[in-house]
Structure formats: structure tokens, C-alpha cells
Chains A and B, each alone.
Chain A
Amino acid sequence: MKAAVLVFPGSNREGDVAQAIELVTGRKPQMVWHCDGDFEKTDLIVVPGGFSYGDYLRCGAMAAQSPVMAEVKKRAAQGVPVLAICNGFQIVTEAGLLPGTLMRNAHLKFVCSDVHLKVETSQSLFTNRYQAGQVIRVPVAHAEGNYFADETTLKRLEDRGQIAFRYCAPDGTVDGTGNPNGSIQNIAGVFNETKTVMGLMPHPENAVEPMFGGSDGKALFEGLVEALT
């Protein structure tokens, strides 16, 4: 599997995700600078976390208009899978690749901790190594992760199975206790209609080695390798 990781001024998790990809594929991904609208063809595009363009105007708003994102939109339309994490999720919603938006956390604080996620479906490139209903533990680190979409959009997401992960309690109960940021219906990650684009606020790339507190995120990358190699 050949992967590209985008890099914007202010990205800071591109190294982490590159390392996670190298761990499962044995090869370094291509790092693509935000001005580069013409990068080598790859099987996967990753939009990493950080604070692109200093979060000016709105998180992800400036990055969504960069030359590299114009190209990502084109390739996503052709079916090239896109994994968007944290600030990456904010960028792709701003770019219109995923529905909804990420607002300021309901409690207004930056949240940096492990969270539990319920896997909603195993029927996707990104989640095929998990079981539907499985609970995994991965970290979050954000101030604007409060997912919001209007009622019509939410209903469409539910009906079409486009919700990838929900925040939950350690036992899998989906209620307010496991929700770190106020996200509507505990939504932590969503797919586009064709399930070729997935965005999520938590950081699976920071849960790939037991030595660093857990490895529940590794299966996401292994699943991608299996699906895309």
C-alpha cells in the first residue's frame, strides 16, 4: 500500500501517522506539502492532525482551500481513499468531503486523554479489522471536536450507515459519560456516502504500540493495508 501524508504549516501529527503507516506497511509514506497540487499517485491519502494555518478563521478553513486539497478533492471523487484525523477531519469537512462540522468543545476546554470508541461497522476499508460493536481505546487531543450536523444530515448518516465510531463508556454504553466534547449523538467519526473517506477526531496513529499505552488503533492501519494492497 502506497500512502501520502499531507503536511500543512502547523500540522504536528504527520510524523506520528507516517510512523504508524511504516509500522504496518514497512515503507515510508510520501509526505506532501500543502502547495503541491500534483503529487505521485497513491492508494491512500492521509490528512493528519495539528493546527493547520494556526486554526485561523475556523479550524481547517484555510487548509481546505489549499492547492493540495483541490487535488485531494479530485482524487477522492475518483475513489481514492482518504483518512482524515483530528485537524484533518476538520479540514475535510470544511472542504465538503464529509458532512457536518466540528465545533468548539461544549465545555470549552482542550481535552487530552484516552477515550473509548464503539466501532459502528466493520463494513469499510478503515474498520474491516474490527467487529461491529467492539470497544477500542485511543487518545484524543483537541479543543474543537464537538461534531455537529443538522437533523436531516444526521438522519441520512444513520440511515446509510455512515457513522464510523461513537464515544462510549468502557463497557460500550453510548451516553454522556463517555462523550469528551459534546458531539451530537456521541459521533467520533463519519464516512462519506461511498465509505472511501473517513474522518475522526481521535488519534488511532497514537495507539499502535503497547509500549505507548495501547495498540487498539493499529488494526485500522492493518485493515487499510489488507484492503488496499
Chain B
Amino acid sequence: MKARVHVTLKNGVLDPQGKAIGHSLNRLGFPEVGDVRQGKFIELELAETDKAKAKARLDEMCRKLLANTVIENYSIELVG
């Protein structure tokens, strides 16, 4: 089974990288771009067939290592 984890900054946490990306896009001729928030995308191969079990394990992985819950949120998506 494949899993996709998205890690994003929590609301209210300043994202200077997102801001810089937004400014660059505006400068490159994309004035329609407003607020930009950037994050991480992590794809994992899992040796697990039970979706509920996989999700619980992924949740643990996110809390232990993949995300820093002081400033980041995470979401988990199971594929196939």
C-alpha cells in the first residue's frame, strides 16, 4: 500500500518561504497569486494491507518524526 503525507504549517505560523514564493510569482507575471503557504509532501511504501492499521501507524509516524506538531499540521492519504 502506498501512503501520501502532506505536512503544512499551522494557521497563524509565519511562512516566510511561502511569502517569498508569492512575491516571485507576482513578479513573474502572475498578479492573481495572493497568499502562498508551502509545505512538504512525503510518499511512503507500506508493507500493510489493513487500511485502519496503516492509518494508525502513519499517525504515529507523523507525530514521532514526519511533522513537528508545535508548528505543523499533517494529513494522511492512502492510495491503492
Contact = CB atoms under 8 A, between A and B. Distances in A.
A148 B71 contact: yes
Interface of B: 13-14, 16-17, 20, 40, 64-66, 68, 70-71
Q: Summarize A's interface: helix, strand, loop or mixed.
A: loop
A104 interface: yes
Contacts, number: 34
B16 A107 contact: yes
Contact of A65 (B17, B64, B70): B64
A147 to B, nearest CB: 11
A159 interface: no
Given A106-B14, A107-B16, A108-B16, A101 B64 contact: no
Nearest to A107: B16
A94 B13 CA distance: 17
Interface of A: 57-58, 61, 65, 93-94, 100-101, 103-108, 148-150, 182
19 contacts: A57-B40, A61-B65, A65-B65, A94-B68, A101-B70, A101-B71, A103-B13, A103-B14, A103-B71, A105-B16, A106-B14, A107-B16, A108-B16, A108-B17, A108-B20, A148-B13, A148-B14, A148-B70, A182-B14
